[in-house]
Amino acid sequence: MPKEIDYNWKMESDYCGRILKGRFSEALKKKAAEYISLFQKLNTTANPTIPYISAWAEGRNHIWYEFVGSRLLELMSCKASDAAQIFGECVTTRCSFGYQAEEDLVREFLKADEIKKIRQKLRLESKEKGVVEAVYQLTLPSGKSVWLKDQATVEYYDLDNICLSLGTLTFVTREMQAVELTIKTEEEQQQYKTLLENQLREQNKKIWQMQLDMVYRLARASKLRDAATGFHITKVGYYCQILGKAAGIRGDKLKLLYHASPLHDVGKIGIAESILQKPAKLTPHEFEQMKNHSVIGAKLLSGNDSGLLKVARLMALSHHERWDGSGYPFGLSRNQIPLAGRIASICDVFDALTSDRPYKQAWGIDASVAEIEKGRGRHFDPQLLDLFLKSLPAIKEVQHHFGQGLQP
Ligand SMILES: [Fe+2]
Ligand SMILES: [Fe+2]
C-alpha cells in the first residue's frame, strides 16, 4: 500500500497519477496533493468546465493525469488511468490563436499527424511560457466530434524534472463550428474569385487572339493590294520589335508594338493600284494621294479602345511624320510624334531602302545606313537612330532571313 500523505487531501483509491506514489520530492508531492484537492472541489461544482491536472517529465514523451474531471471520463468512456492516452488518440485537430497586429487574428490548425511530430516542441513552449492555450477537436469513441478549449498554467519543478499543467477544458463546439463556417465561406469566396479570374484570363486570351487574327487578316488584305512590297510589313514588324526593345520597351508594350506594326501601311487599301504599283517615281500629285494612306489607315483603325488597335492607329497615322516637323499628315515634330511612329519611321525607311521596289533596286546595307544617317535630326529621332545602328547585327539577321528579292 502506498504511504498515506497527510495533507489537505488524502489519497483515494481512484488516484490515477504517479507523483504521490512515486519517488519524488516531498515538496512536489505536497503541491500535487494540494492541487488535486482543489481540483476535486472544482469538479463537484456545477462548473461548465472540466478541471484537470496533467504531468510529464521534461524531455520525456509520456504524459499522464494526476487528476481528471469526471465529465471528460464520461465523454471518453474510459478510466482515469487511461484518459491521457485516449485523449491523445481522440485529438484530430489542434487550433491555436494569436494576434499579429492589434486586431489581426491568426488561426493555426494542426492535424493529428502534425501534432505528433511537434509534441515535444509544444510541451517545451508551454513550459517556457508557463501557459497553455489551444483548442482541440476530439473525435470521441462514440464517433461524436467535440471541440474543447484547453487553458492551463504550467509549473516546472526542477528538482524532480516534472511539469504540472493545471487547467480546464471548456466546450466550444458551437463557437468552433462558427469559425469553421467562416473559414469555409472565406475559402469558397477565394475559390470563386480564382474561378472568375481564370475565366477572365481565358476570355482575354480569346479576345487577344481574335484581335491578332483581325490584324493579320487586315495586314494581308493590304498586302494583296501592294504585292510589290514583298515581306515589307513582316520585316518592319521585327525591326520595330528590335528597336523598341533597344529603346527600353518591354513586356506587353513590346508585344503591342510588334503586333501593331503590320498595320502601319493598312491605309494603302484606299490608294489606287495604279499608284501603288507604278514602276516609276510618283508625280507630285500622285505622291499627294499616296500620303493619304496614313490618315486612311488611322480611320480604319479608329473607334476601338483595345491597346493593340490604339498603338496600330498611332503608328499608321504618324509613321511618316519627321523629327524636324516636315513630315505628314500633321507636320508634328520631335516628341510630339508618338514613339511608335518614330520607331516605325526608321524601320519603314530602312526596309524600303534595302528592298526592291517597282521603281528601284534594293540598296546595300552600308549605302542604306549612310542614307538614313543623312536623315539624323531631320527625318529621324537621333537617339532612336543611334539605337537602331547599335542594333544593326540583329536587324541584318532579320533581313538575311527573309532574303532580298523574295516575294511572299
Ligand atoms: Fe507608309
Ligand atoms: Fe511602310
Segment 167-176 shows an average pLDDT of 90
pLDDT greater than 70 at residue 405: no
State the distance from the centre of ligand 1 to the C-alpha of 320, rounded, in angstroms.
6
CA of 282 to the centre of ligand 1 (A): 14
Cα 256 to averaged position of ligand 2 atoms, centre (Å): 18
Cell of 251: 513586356
Task: Tell me the average pLDDT across 112-123.
Answer: 86
The Cα–Cα gap between 343 and 176 comes to: 63
Q: 297 C-alpha vs ligand 1 centroid, how far in Å?
A: 9
d(CA 321, CA 309): 19
Give Dmax over CA atoms of the chain in angstroms.
126
Q: How far is CA 71 from CA 10, 127, 260, in A?
A: 22, 26, 76
Gap from CA of 152 to ligand 2 centroid (Å): 81
Q: For ligand 1, an ion, list residues with CB under 5 A.
A: 265
Q: At what angle do helices 251-260 and 307-318 cross, to 10 degrees?
A: 50
Decide which of 302 and 229 is more confident.
Answer: 302
Identify the pLDDT of residue 10.
Answer: 60
Percentage above 90 pLDDT, the chain:
54
- The topology under which CATH files domain 26-171 is Beta-Lactamase (3.30.450)
d(CA 287, CA 355): 20
Per-residue confidence (pLDDT) for residue 100, from 0 to 100: 66
8 Å CB contact between 307 and 315: no
Q: Which of 120-129, 237-246, 317-326, 354-363 is predicted least confidently?
A: 354-363
Q: What is the mean pLDDT of the chain?
A: 88
Average pLDDT on 337-351 reads 96
| Residue 267: closest CA among 221, 306, 321, 307 | 221
Spatial separation of the C-alpha atoms in residues 9 and 301, rounded to whole Å: 95
Question: Is residue 149 very low, low, confident or very high in pLDDT (cuts 50, 70, 90)?
Answer: very high
| DSSP helix/strand/coil, 68 | strand
> From the CA of 354, how far away is ligand 2's center (Å)?
12
Please tell me the distance between residue 229's alpha carbon and the centre of ligand 2 in angstroms: 8
For CA atoms 217, 222, 227, 232, the dihedral sign is negative
Contacts with 258 (C-beta within 8 Å, 6 or more apart), sequence order = 237, 238, 240, 241, 244
Q: How confident is residue 2, by pLDDT bands cut at 50, 70 and 90?
A: very low
The count of residues in the chain is 408
Cα 21 from Cα 17, distance rounded (Å): 8
Distance from the Cα of residue 145 to its chain's centroid: 36
Q: Please give the distance, rounded to the nearest whole angstrom, from the Cα atom of residue 352 to the centre of ligand 2.
A: 7
Predicted local distance difference test score (pLDDT) of residue 65 = 95
- CA of 233 from ligand 2 middle (Å) equals 7
Choose among 66, 93, 234, 68: nearest CA to 155. Answer: 66
CA pair distance 155, 170, nearest whole angstrom = 21
Nearest ligand for residue 229 CA: 2
Ligand nearest to the CA of 355: 2
State the DSSP string of 13-63: TT---STTTSS--HHHHHHHHHHHHHHHHHHHS--SSEEEEEEEETT-S-E
pLDDT at 184 over 70: yes
Cα 357 to middle of ligand 1, angstroms: 14
Between 158 and 184, name the one with better pLDDT: 158
How far is ligand 1, taken at its centre, from the CA of residue 181, in Å?
64
Ligand nearest to the CA of 298: 1
* Nearest ligand, CA 297: 1
Ligand 1 centroid distance, CA of 92 (Å): 73
Distance CA 292, CA 350 (A): 21
The residue with cell 473607334 is: 303
**Where are the chain's structural domains?**
26-171, 211-402
Q: What are phi and psi of 111, to 5 degrees?
A: -90, 165
Nearest-angstrom CA–CA distance, 350 and 395: 10
Least distant ligand from the CA of 351: 2
Query: Measured in Å, how far apart are the chain's first and last C-alpha atoms?
Result: 107
Q: Give distance in angstroms: CA of 96 to centre of ligand 2.
A: 68
What is this structure's pTM? 0.58
Q: Which ligand is nearest to the CA of 291?
A: 1
Residue 288: band (very low, low, confident or very high) from pLDDT cuts 50, 70, 90: very high
C-alpha atoms less than 13 angstroms from C-alpha of 340 in its C-beta half-sphere: 25
Q: Which helix (H) or strand (E) holds 122?
A: helix 112-129
- Does the domain formed by 211-402 have CATH 1.10.3210.10? yes
Calpha distance 86→149 (Å, rounded)? 17
Question: How far does residue 391's CA lie from ligand 1's centre (Å)?
Answer: 22
What is d(CA 332, CA 224) in angstroms, rounded to the nearest whole number? 30
Contact 164, 64 (CB under 8 A): no
Q: Which ligand is nearest to the CA of 261?
A: 2
Whether residue 221 has pLDDT greater than 90: no
Give the pLDDT band (50/70/90) at residue 186: confident
